[in-house]
């Protein structure tokens, strides 16, 4: 081993505390990056393979009832590589042991041979026997939620008749990697399940022989999706098409895409924060070593080491630290990534979700950390290299101080000499002091960022499901219900309050932008399904005009007073021009609302309802469920509390895992920055402190000088960190803003308090570590040598 | 002889009996002091003279409560330093001892006056910081930072800082070691003046025999032993020293 390398190892050993702290900070950044990128790769690869192998469709559409005879014409559309027609119906399911009904989506599979598109993967059991009546295959999450195994029986209420079905297999589908009931924002494994059933069974049950109500298409390569969609819409229009859409609007695919973009965002943000902090820590540590080793550098150069060799020596020191951080970070990242796969397996159902290591990302991590290390230390290393030997031999000039602006403001008698030392140390190197403050602030910010998602989630749930929507149940009807059906439902024993709504599929346009949405017609002053503005104030439904939710308004670029074009995709398909009368706040979905009576007028229909919102006496809720299950017209029942609970349970568990990572990382940053800063202060002021000790100052008094600085840093860093954290949260909400949901920018006081506390604790811990050194100051040797 | 008279009249400030100090330096034992006994008396000016490695700094550190001997006892007045714990030694230094070091050891972030005030604020009966600076002739430079002062000026600030607490003893470790002759003499003048005016018991370490001429007594140290104690019949004033 070259002697210079041996020196490097020994220097590193001397520096072990600080080096370890920096390695940890780098590791935290690399771990997050590697985890996100590996999870990204794993999820993408698994998704792509599943989509490909099980032939996930590109375009989807549904109609009311279209004849099979139309199929050849659809197949002839240019750009269509494969097409499949099928029947899809949502029905109520009567599950033993569950009083409330669940919704089953029945999807037909061909009676002979495989489906052409959206094939199912059989996890257990078998596929339906050709032409075997009464057999179903059920989706895995739903089966798991109820403990169903092949051989079990379930009862569905199909067209008003209870029909028993035998589960023969448990399956997955690329179409339902995540199962979210339309109209709902959250998955509810227990109350929404997918059932694949022989086509003949469904045709019989719904009287659809020789007809279909759902079309899925796989596109040929290189064809424009929009043209195919237009053609499909044109051909299916007479049969009640509500408009074709591509994967971007397919729920399961959209949730996956959102998750992937979230991982991407994390992969960008984490290294930016952690490597920035690491670069700064390396900067202060290395410039300190170089100051201390001036004479050694001079000697090396005097003996003939070249500038390059000296520079490389110090850069190598830095590389050892950065590579150490990268290796540790990658390993932690792999571990976290593998854990993340476990979490994903609860949400996203694939035949096999395997963890793949993203080697290019690992390489990128190594390059990034090295770059950050070089950026952080370049100037100090250069100054060491360019110092002429003779000058370097002489000790560095005593640091010059001056009275700071601070003291001109604060009268002298308020500042003890110890505090004056602290203040002057800070003002002498304002940039370094500022960077230390920013570094500690980043720890606070990371904590705020990590916990804010929970705040946002809580607020979103509170706003959407408690403040705005106050119903207990949402009932939808298979066909628009007449007044008599409404009357029956509203007067069920146990229903306390009720409101009806009319929902209609439309395409809404403003200028060159358009979206497929459902417009909901509401009563003028709804009390169960309320509309609120951003300040949580109730918005009345005006007689005329259309109300957009904030997301739709943003997507279309339309605001109050603008005129939007609404093409109704049902019934007589009128096209209307409507003025935007209000913008309402909603955090999930893109929706529009209007006056129900007015909606009936434009649709040229009588007073009908697509669904109803019910407030139910909690003691009689089971009776209400039983009644609802018996009504043939009822298509689905959504139970708000159950949905929220099931979601909170799953999410709470995962958030807990993520939070412990984040708290750990924030502590790593805080300890890294505080410990390094204190360590450097100690090293720089060793002589001052020892002198004070010699002159009779106690350990505690001397520590004031050392820790006063750290305390000031922390006190300044906490508010700054809260502000930065808030800013990062804002960036994150903007990044995660999708059509599915928007994340409100809400940071609770508890989050700020928790973030501050973690940093305060980290500060105290590292202060204690350093303070131990004060006790061990070698008073004599410090006085004998020049600094 | 005046020195005899000093010895009989004055009370003993330090009383050291058979002190030895052994440092473990890796695998080698270094005998810094090998059984030293001595007494220092109130108000006297003592020079500890010896080559480097003779044990003089070790002795001074032990007297100043910075270090403790491996064996032997040291009394400061009726207080046994060798039986004191760390906090008692801190207390002892705080109340009784003024230190002057070869490399001044001023706090660079404090002005001359503030360096002195650093001490006056923790002392029980200090003099005014400006008076202390005046004693060493640095009152006009009171608001300068160490980086703005010459080496001699810095050392004089260090002396002012050492005496501002009105210490009973002033311990100086090679106070002129880092200074040129002219500046060194100015510093010695200041130390001599303190000793005369305030009656502070003063011990100065040096390897420079010329400085010994200004002492009441000279203790010669060699290889950890006291090689001899000389009493100067006439003290030479600092300004008349040459080296």
A705 and A784 in a single domain? The answer is: yes
Contacts A–B by Cβ distance under 8 A: 91
Q: Note whether B94 contacts A696, CB cutoff 8 Å.
A: yes
For A421, the closest of B61, B90, B107 (CB atoms) is: B107
**Residue B23 forms part of a structural domain:** no
CA distance A365 to B34: 61
Out of A393, A417, A437, a domain closes at A393
Phi, psi of A482 (to 5 degrees): -80, 170
A660 and A718 in a single domain? The answer is: yes
Q: Note whether B110 contacts A425, CB cutoff 8 Å.
A: no
A400 touches chain B (CB under 8 A): yes
What average pLDDT score do residues A245-263 get? 88
Q: Note whether A688 contacts B66, CB cutoff 8 Å.
A: no
A88 and A222 in a single domain? The answer is: yes
Over residues A577-633, the pLDDT tens digits come to: 999 999 999 888 889 999 999 999 988 888 999 999 999 998 998 888 888 887 877
pLDDT band at A502 (very low <50, low <70, confident <90, very high): very high
Overall number of domains in chain A: 4
**Residue A626 forms part of a structural domain:** no
**Residue B9 forms part of a structural domain:** no
Task: Look over chain B and give the mean of its residue pLDDT values, rounded to a whole number.
Answer: 88
Per DSSP, the residues of A613-664 read: EEEE-GGGHHHHHHHHHH-TTEEEEEEHHHHHHHHHHHHHHHHHHHHHHHHH
CATH of the domain at B121: 3.40.50.300
Q: Note whether B145 contacts A425, CB cutoff 8 Å.
A: no
Residue A414 predicted with pLDDT over 80: no
Q: Which residues, numbered 676 to 695 in chain A, qualify as contacts with chain B under a Cβ-Cβ cut-off of 8 Å?
A: 687-688, 690-695
Q: Which residues of B touch A692 (CB under 8 A)?
A: 107, 118
Asked if A46 and A349 count as a contact pair (C-beta separation under 8 A), the reply is no
What is the pLDDT, as a whole number, of residue A785?
A: 63
* Alpha carbon A183 to chain centroid, angstroms: 21
Q: What angle do CA B147, B148, B149 make, to 5 degrees?
A: 95
Identify which of A140, A152, A146 has the alpha carbon closest to the alpha carbon of residue A196.
A140
Q: Note whether A417 contacts B121, CB cutoff 8 Å.
A: yes
Q: Which of B30, B94, B107 to mutate to test the interface with A (most CBs of A within 10 A)?
A: B107
**Residue A778 forms part of a structural domain:** yes
Residue A787 predicted with pLDDT over 70: no
**Residue A621 forms part of a structural domain:** no
For A687, the closest of B105, B121, B148 (CB atoms) is: B105
Over residues B215-228, the pLDDT tens digits come to: 999 999 999 999 99
| Side-chain half-sphere exposure of A471, counting CA atoms within 13 A | 23
| Closest chain A residue to B123, measured at CA | A696
For B146, the closest of A398, A418, A780 (CB atoms) is: A398
Q: Note whether B90 contacts A398, CB cutoff 8 Å.
A: no
Strand partners, A582: A547
CA distance A268 to A280: 19
Over residues A57-72, the pLDDT tens digits come to: 999 999 989 999 999 9
Asked if A589 and A739 count as a contact pair (C-beta separation under 8 A), the reply is yes
Strand partners, A440: none
| Closest chain A residue to B161, measured at CA | A695
| Closest chain B residue to A696, measured at CA | B94
Least reliable range by pLDDT among A4-18, A66-80, A292-306:
A292-306
A329 and A254 in a single domain? The answer is: yes
DSSP state of A70: G
Q: Note whether B87 contacts A402, CB cutoff 8 Å.
A: no
Residue A253 predicted with pLDDT over 90: yes
CA distance A75 to A83: 6
**Residue A633 forms part of a structural domain:** no
Per DSSP, the residues of A525-545 read: S-SSB--B-TTS-B----SSS
| Closest chain A residue to B148, measured at CA | A400
CA distance A719 to A717: 6
Phi, psi of B40 (to 5 degrees): -115, 140
Q: Note whether A694 contacts B102, CB cutoff 8 Å.
A: no
A33 and A69 in a single domain? The answer is: no
Residue B2 predicted with pLDDT over 80: no
Least reliable range by pLDDT among A289-298, B39-48, B181-190:
A289-298
Q: Note whether B64 contacts A694, CB cutoff 8 Å.
A: yes
For A780, the closest of B66, B97, B107 (CB atoms) is: B66
**Residue A483 forms part of a structural domain:** no
What is the pLDDT, as a whole number, of residue A397?
A: 62
Q: Note whether A696 contacts B117, CB cutoff 8 Å.
A: no
What is the pLDDT, as a whole number, of residue B4?
A: 40
Q: Which residues of B touch A695 (CB under 8 A)?
A: 93-94, 99, 118-119, 161-162
What is the pLDDT, as a whole number, of residue B77?
A: 93
pLDDT band at A166 (very low <50, low <70, confident <90, very high): very high
- The boundaries of the domain holding residue B203 are 42-70+85-240
What is the pLDDT, as a whole number, of residue A265?
A: 81
Q: Which residues of A touch B95 (CB under 8 A)?
A: 696
Question: How far, CA to CA in Å, does A31 sit from each of A41, A270, A330, A340, A459?
Answer: 15, 9, 5, 12, 30
**Residue B5 forms part of a structural domain:** no
Q: Note whether A785 contacts B118, CB cutoff 8 Å.
A: no
**Residue B94 forms part of a structural domain:** yes
pLDDT band at A1 (very low <50, low <70, confident <90, very high): low
What is the pLDDT, as a whole number, of residue B3?
A: 40
**Residue B178 forms part of a structural domain:** yes
Identify which of A312, A327, A292 has the alpha carbon closest to the alpha carbon of residue A374.
A312
Out of A616, A651, A682, a domain closes at A616
**Residue A747 forms part of a structural domain:** yes
> How far does A320 lie from chain B, in Å, by closest CA?
30
Q: Note whether B122 contacts A696, CB cutoff 8 Å.
A: yes
Least reliable range by pLDDT among A166-175, A622-631, B75-84:
A622-631
- The boundaries of the domain holding residue A323 are 1-60+247-393
**Residue A630 forms part of a structural domain:** no
**Residue A374 forms part of a structural domain:** yes
| Closest chain B residue to A702, measured at CA | B118
Q: Note whether A695 contacts B61, CB cutoff 8 Å.
A: no
**Conformation bin of residue A683: beta by default, left when phi > 0, alpha when psi is -120 to 50:** alpha
Out of A393, A414, A431, a domain closes at A393
A5 and A95 in a single domain? The answer is: no
Q: Which of A395, A417, A708 to mutate to test the interface with B (most CBs of B within 10 A)?
A: A417
A257 and A323 in a single domain? The answer is: yes
Q: Which residues of B touch A786 (CB under 8 A)?
A: 103
Q: Note whether A401 contacts B161, CB cutoff 8 Å.
A: no
**Residue B216 forms part of a structural domain:** yes
Identify which of B99, B61, B47, B22 has the alpha carbon closest to the alpha carbon of residue A780.
B61
Over residues A661-708, the pLDDT tens digits come to: 888 888 888 888 888 888 888 888 888 888 888 888 888 888 888 888
pLDDT > 90: percent of chain A: 39
Sign of CA dihedral A42, A47, A50, A52: negative
For B147, the closest of A401, A701, A784 (CB atoms) is: A401
What average pLDDT score do residues A142-169 get? 89
Q: Which residues of A touch B87 (CB under 8 A)?
A: 698
For A779, the closest of B66, B107, B110 (CB atoms) is: B66
A583 and A564 in a single domain? The answer is: yes
What average pLDDT score do residues A758-775 get? 85
Q: Note whether A786 contacts B103, CB cutoff 8 Å.
A: yes
For A780, the closest of B61, B111, B162 (CB atoms) is: B61
A132 and A24 in a single domain? The answer is: no
What is the pLDDT, as a whole number, of residue A394?
A: 59
A82 and A205 in a single domain? The answer is: yes
Q: Note whether A701 contacts B122, CB cutoff 8 Å.
A: yes
**Residue B75 forms part of a structural domain:** no
A89 and A197 in a single domain? The answer is: yes
Overall number of domains in chain B: 1
CA distance A594 to A571: 18
A152 and A231 in a single domain? The answer is: yes
Q: Note whether B93 contacts A696, CB cutoff 8 Å.
A: yes
**Residue B167 forms part of a structural domain:** yes
CA distance B172 to A694: 13
């Amino acid at each position: 081993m070259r002697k210079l390398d041996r020196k490097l190892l020994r220097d590193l050993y001397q520096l072990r505390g600080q080096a370890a702290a920096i390695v940890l900070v780098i590791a935290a950044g690399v771990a997050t990056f590697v985890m996100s990128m590996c999870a990204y790769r794993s999820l993408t690869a698994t998704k792509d393979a599943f989509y490909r192998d099980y032939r996930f469709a590109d375009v989807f559409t549904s109609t009311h009832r279209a004849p099979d005879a139309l199929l050849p014409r659809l197949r002839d559309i240019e750009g269509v590589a494969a097409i499949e027609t099928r029947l899809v119906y949502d029905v109520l399911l009567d599950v033993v042991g569950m009083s409330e009904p669940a919704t089953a989506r029945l999807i037909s599979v061909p009676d002979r041979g495989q489906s052409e598109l959206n094939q199912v993967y059989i996890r257990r059991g078998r596929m339906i026997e050709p032409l075997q009546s009464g057999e179903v295959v059920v989706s895995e999450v739903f089966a798991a939620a109820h403990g169903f195994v092949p051989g079990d029986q379930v009862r569905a209420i199909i067209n008003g008749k209870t029909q028993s079905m035998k589960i023969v297999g448990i399956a997955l589908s690329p179409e339902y990697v995540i199962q979210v009931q339309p109209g709902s924002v959250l998955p509810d494994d227990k109350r929404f399940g997918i059932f694949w059933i022989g086509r003949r069974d469904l045709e019989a049950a719904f009287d659809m022989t020789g007809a279909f109500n759902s079309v899925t298409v796989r596109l040929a390569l290189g064809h424009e999706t929009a043209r195919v969609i237009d053609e499909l819409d044109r051909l299916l229009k007479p049969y009640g098409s509500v408009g074709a859409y591509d994967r971007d609007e397919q729920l399961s695919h959209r949730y996956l895409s959102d998750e992937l973009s979230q991982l991407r965002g994390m992969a960008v943000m984490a290294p930016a924060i952690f490597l920035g902090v690491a670069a700064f820590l390396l900067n202060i540590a290395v410039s300190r070593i170089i100051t201390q080793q001036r004479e050694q550098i001079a000697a090396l150069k005097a003996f003939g080491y070249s500038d390059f060799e000296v520079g490389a020596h110090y850069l190598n020191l830095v590389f050892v630290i950065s590579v150490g951080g990268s290796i540790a970070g990658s390993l932690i990242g792999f571990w976290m990534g593998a854990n993340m796969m476990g979490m994903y397996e609860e949400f996203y159902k694939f035949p096999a979700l395997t963890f793949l290591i993203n080697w290019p990302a690992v390489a990128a991590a190594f390059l990034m950390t090295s770059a950050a290390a070089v950026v952080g230390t370049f100037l100090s290393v250069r100054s060491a290299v360019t110092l002429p030997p003779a000058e370097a031999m002489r000790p560095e000039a005593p640091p010059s101080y001056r009275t700071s602006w601070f003291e001109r403001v604060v009268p002298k008698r308020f500042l003890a000499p110890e505090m004056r030392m602290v203040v002057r140390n800070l003002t002498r190197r304002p940039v370094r002091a500022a960077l230390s403050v920013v570094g500690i602030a980043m720890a606070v910010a990371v904590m705020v960022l990590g916990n804010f998602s929970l705040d946002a989630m809580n607020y979103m749930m509170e706003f959407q499901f408690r403040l705005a929507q106050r119903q207990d149940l949402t009932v939808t009807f298979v066909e628009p219900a007449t007044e008599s059906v409404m009357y029956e439902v509203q007067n069920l024993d146990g229903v306390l309050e009720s409101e009806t709504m009319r929902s209609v599929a439309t395409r809404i346009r403003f200028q060159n932008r358009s979206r497929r949405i459902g417009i909901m017609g509401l009563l003028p002053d709804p009390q169960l399904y309320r509309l609120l503005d951003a300040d949580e104030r109730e918005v009345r439904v005006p007689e005329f005009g259309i109300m957009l939710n904030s997301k739709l308004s943003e997507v279309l670029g339309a605001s109050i007073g603008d005129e939007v074009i609404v093409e109704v995709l049902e019934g007589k398909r009128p096209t209307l021009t409507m003025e935007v009368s209000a913008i309402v706040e909603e955090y999930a979905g893109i929706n529009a609302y209007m006056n129900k009576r007015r909606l009936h007028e434009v649709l040229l229909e009588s007073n009908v309802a697509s669904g109803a919102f019910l407030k139910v006496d909690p003691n009689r809720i089971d009776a209400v469920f039983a009644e609802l299950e018996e009504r043939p017209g009822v298509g689905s029942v959504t139970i708000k509390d159950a949905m929220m609970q099931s979601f909170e349970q799953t999410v709470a568990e995962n958030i807990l895992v993520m939070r412990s990572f984040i708290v750990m990382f924030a502590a790593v940053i805080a300890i890294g920055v505080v410990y390094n800063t204190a360590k450097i202060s100690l090293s720089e002021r060793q002589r001052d402190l020892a002198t004070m000790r010699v002159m009779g100052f106690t350990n505690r008094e001397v520590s004031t000088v050392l820790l006063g600085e750290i305390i000031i840093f922390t006190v300044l860093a906490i508010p700054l960190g809260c502000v930065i954290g808030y800013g990062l949260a804002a960036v994150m909400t903007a990044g995660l803003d999708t059509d599915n949901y928007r994340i409100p920018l809400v940071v609770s006081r508890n989050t700020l308090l928790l973030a501050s506390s973690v940093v305060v604790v980290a500060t105290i811990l590292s202060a204690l570590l350093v303070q131990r050194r004060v006790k061990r100051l070698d008073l004599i040797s410090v006085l004998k040598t020049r600094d | 002889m005046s020195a005899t008279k000093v010895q009989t009249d004055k009370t003993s400030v330090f009383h050291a009996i058979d002190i030895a100090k052994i440092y473990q330096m890796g695998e080698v034992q270094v005998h810094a002091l090998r059984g030293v006994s001595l007494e220092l008396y109130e108000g006297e000016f003592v020079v500890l003279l010896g080559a480097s490695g003779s044990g003089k700094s070790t002795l001074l550190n032990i007297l100043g409560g910075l270090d403790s001997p491996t064996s032997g006892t040291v009394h400061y007045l009726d207080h046994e330093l060798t039986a004191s714990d760390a906090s008692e030694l801190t207390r002892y230094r705080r109340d009784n001892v003024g230190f002057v070091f070869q490399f001044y050891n001023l706090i660079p972030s404090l002005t001359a006056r503030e360096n002195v005030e650093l001490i006056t604020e923790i002392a029980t009966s200090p003099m005014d910081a400006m008076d202390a600076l005046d004693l060493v002739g640095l009152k006009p430079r009171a608001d300068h930072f160490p980086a703005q002062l010459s080496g001699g000026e810095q050392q004089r600030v260090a002396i002012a800082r050492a005496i501002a607490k009105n210490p009973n003893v002033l311990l100086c470790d090679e106070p002129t070691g880092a200074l040129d002759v002219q500046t060194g003499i100015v510093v010695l003048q200041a130390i001599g003046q303190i000793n005369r005016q305030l009656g502070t018991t003063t011990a100065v370490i040096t390897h420079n025999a010329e400085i010994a001429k200004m002492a009441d007594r000279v203790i010669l140290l060699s290889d950890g032993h006291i090689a001899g104690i000389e009493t100067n019949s006439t003290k030479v004033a600092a300004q008349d020293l040459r080296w």
